[in-house]
Structure 1
């Protein structure tokens, strides 16, 4: 198993705290998804094409896209804050998405 470890965590950093809304699921090819998860700060057309869906509202809720592929059992939440790269990201297992 794998997990992300946070160095010298304080103030509940280990527990997810941010509210989010998935505005759209963006399904991409597995090879592009692998490239994206290795280089999330690169510029991507799928982020640029959905830029109007990503923002943080007045209550602090992240409105984001979920980027994934059919072959992966997880996705990456992206809120670009108006940029063409993944400025804010979060790992999300597909099993945690409610239908």
Structure 2
């Protein structure tokens, strides 16, 4: 389409408000394009990946939905799923560019952990120097 950005989504008509839920991605799984298209076309059919991860999905006492993110490894869109123990997508939402969102999150988390580790080492070295100065 002439180099234009395309976002796969459903547009809602005259929505009076957008209510959202906090969804915690407990696990992300990349699937083939064919596998994702099948899930997208038949979300109410039993799915081996949903069934295998049913124990990760629930709604906690703070109304946080713990979900499985299944995304198309080739095109990048995904589905956020909370199955309530079922083998199908009982609660779900289509997520455009889910792969990019997930990969960016992992990259940011890794950088944050690396920085915290470096800061921890620096703090421990300063503590050791202080202890050495005190004991002298």
| TM-score normalised by length of structure 1 | 0.84
Name the counterpart of 1:68: 71
Q: Larger strand proportion, structure 1 or 2?
A: 1
Conservation of the 8 A alpha-carbon contact between 2:68 and 2:80:
yes
- Could you say what the CA RMSD is over the residues aligned between the two structures, in angstroms? 1.7
Asked whether 1:58 is paired with 2:66, we answer no
1:90 is displaced (CA, Å) by 1.4
Deviation at 1:57, TM superposition (A): 0.5
Q: Name segments (4+ residues, structure 1) moved above 4 Å.
A: none
Tell me the matched-pair count.
96
Q: Take 1:8 and 1:82, find their aligned partners in 2: how far apart are those partners?
A: 34
> Taking CA–CA contacts closer than 8 Å with sequence separation of 6 or more, which of the two structures ends up with the larger relative contact order?
1
1:33 deviates by: 1.0
Task: Specify which structure has the higher proportion of helix.
Answer: 2
Identify the residue that residue 42 of structure 1 maps to in structure 2.
45
1:96 paired residue number: 101
Return 5+ residue gaps in structure 2 as ranges: 1-5, 107-136
The residue number in structure 2 matching 1:4 is 10
Larger radius of gyration: 2
Unaligned runs of 5+ in 1: none
- 2:20 aligns with 17
Q: CA deviation at 1:49?
A: 0.5
TM-superposition CA deviations, 1:16-35 (whole Å, max 9, x none): 51101111112222211111
